[in-house]
Amino acid sequence: MRSSLPWVTTTVAVGLLLTACVASASLAPATTLPPTSSPQVATPGPTSSTSSPAATSPPPTSSPQVATPGPTSSTSSPAATTPPPTPPPATTPPPTSSPPATTPPPTSSPPGAISLAAIAAGGHHTCALTSGGAVKCWGANFAGQLGNGTTTDSRTPVDVSGLASGVTAVAAGSSHTCALTSGGGIRCWGANFAGQLGNGTTTDSRTPVDVSGLASGVSAVEVGEYHTCAVTIGGGIKCWGRNFEGQLGNGTTTDSRTPVDVSGLASGVSAIAARLEHTCALTGDGGIKCWGRNGSGQLGNGTTTFSSAPVDVSGLAGGVSAIAAGTFHTCARTSGGGIKCWGYNQYGQLGNGTTTDSGVPVDVSNFASGVSSIVVGAFHACAITTGGGVKCWGANYAGQLGDGTVTDSGTPVDVDWATSSSNIP
């Protein structure tokens, strides 16, 4: 008995173990769904008796994930992060669209632009004549020289009262302005302490007033520092205003509040030039006569004595086509296109390579011909050549010669059009 007990015990244990395993195997199918049941709801599929694949493996004919829309073909659509190939971005305008609104059409004019016929610069103010015959002025206005009824300076153009049309020429002095009307009359405004407005008074005027006796019959007007002159349609000259140096040309040194005749020039005059205290006239036969102050020889008659009546300019009895006056010097353009100057020459404004005054005309260097027009400033002069170039000479302390320096020049120098203004110190 003692020797058989362990075997019996082992046999019983093995039997119990086998019984437990059989029982476990018979209970396992209860956790498996019947073979005919549908797959999980999240994964639709066929109703075959064979169990569907696991839910994590979609059928081969299923559509792509909902986040990526596309066709029902077995080939997936591109990823949602890839934009469609068309249309182009909204920031790219269609090829046929118009330019941005900030770019004006090529033929448009600058905003506010007006058409001008002439311009005149005074001591501290400027006036312009429009193509429609109106006058507009800007700058200093302490004496009413802008003509708008006030004495307030203006940084932009203002309309001259009563001159919205009908003006053919405008001229400006130190502090007064005059206009020639289409009817041949003259109207002036601004300072009048010497009678330079010509209306018989010495009272300044902030608006245009008629010049006495010259409501018609005038062909040109010229304004000096404090005096005014006009050429009549008959070729005579009349002047009024300051006459301290005889610049009115009537044989006296008395100021005049109304126009007076210039002695010996009742006819035959085609143009006039006036500056500080001297006046010159171009006659019909191409000669020049001057009168007034002559301390630097600006009358051109070989002396430095003032004259209250016209005197002939030496060597220029004919052959002149234009004249221009500076503060103390005078220049003329000959009919052959040359330039001659005379008078004050401290800055080389006579253009002959020296700084010596001359009481008679001298040739401007390198300008025996080829000049189409000339203008004269206070102490310098400039000429436009027949080739379209510009040359200047004389004082250059403010860069008025335009050659990129501030060095005076006794001979003509070219204006430097190529250098940018940003390079000017």
Q: pLDDT tens digits, residue range 163-194?
A: 999 999 999 999 999 999 999 999 999 999 99
Instruction: Name residues whose C-beta falls within 8 Å of residue 340's C-beta, 6 or more positions apart in sequence.
Output: 315, 316, 331, 332, 334, 361, 362, 363, 364
Rounded to a whole number of angstroms, the distance between the first and last alpha carbons of the chain is: 134
pLDDT at 114: 81
- 421: confidence class by pLDDT, cuts 50, 70, 90: low
Half-sphere exposure of residue 30: CA atoms within 13 angstroms, side-chain side:
6
What's the chain's Rg over C-alpha atoms?
A: 50
Q: pLDDT tens digits, residue range 253-279?
A: 999 999 999 999 999 999 999 999 999
User: Averaged over 400-423, what is the pLDDT?
Assistant: 87
Strands 256-261 and 154-159: unpaired
Per CATH, 115-267 and 276-425 having the same topology is answered yes
- SS3 category, 159: strand
Instruction: Report the percent of the chain where pLDDT is more than 90.
Output: 71
- SS3 category, 349: coil
pLDDT of residue 313 exceeding 50: yes
Q: Which among 307, 173, 293, 304 has a CA at the least distance from the CA of 229?
A: 173
DSSP bridge pairs for 356:
none
More confident residue, 87 or 316: 316
Q: pLDDT tens digits, residue range 275-287?
A: 999 999 999 999 9
Alpha carbons 324 and 226: distance in angstroms, whole number:
17
Instruction: Report the percent of the chain where pLDDT is more than 70.
Output: 72
Q: pLDDT tens digits, residue range 218-251?
A: 999 999 999 999 999 999 999 999 999 999 999 9
pLDDT at 111: 58
Phi-psi region of 258 (alpha: psi -120 to 50; beta: other; left: phi over 0): beta
Alpha carbons 336 and 318: distance in angstroms, whole number:
12
User: Averaged over 348-364, what is the pLDDT?
Assistant: 98
Q: Which among 314, 368, 320, 322 has a CA at the least distance from the CA of 343?
A: 314
What fold, for 115-267? Methylamine Dehydrogenase; Chain H (2.130.10)
Structural tokens at position 376: 């004269």
**The domain made up of 276-425 is a member of CATH 3.40.640.10:** no
pLDDT at 56: 39
Alpha carbons 147 and 24: distance in angstroms, whole number:
122
Alpha carbons 377 and 244: distance in angstroms, whole number:
22
Number of H helices, E strands in the chain: 1, 24
Q: What is 176-219 written as a DSSP string?
A: EEEEEETTS-EEEEE--TTSTT-SS----EEEEEEPTT-SS-EE
∠ CA 247-278-352, rounded to 5°: 165
DSSP letter for 62, please: -
Q: pLDDT tens digits, residue range 369-383?
A: 999 999 999 999 999
CB 304 within 8 A of CB 295: yes
Instruction: Show me where the domains of the chain are located.
Output: 115-267, 276-425
Name the strand (E) or helix (H) holding 14: helix 5-27
Q: Which among 334, 321, 250, 333 has a CA at the least distance from the CA of 292?
A: 250
Instruction: Name residues whose C-beta falls within 8 Å of residue 415's C-beta, 6 or more positions apart in sequence.
Output: 382, 389, 390, 391, 392, 401, 402, 403
Alpha carbons 188 and 62: distance in angstroms, whole number:
98
Q: pLDDT tens digits, residue range 105-139?
A: 444 555 566 899 999 999 999 999 999 999 999 99
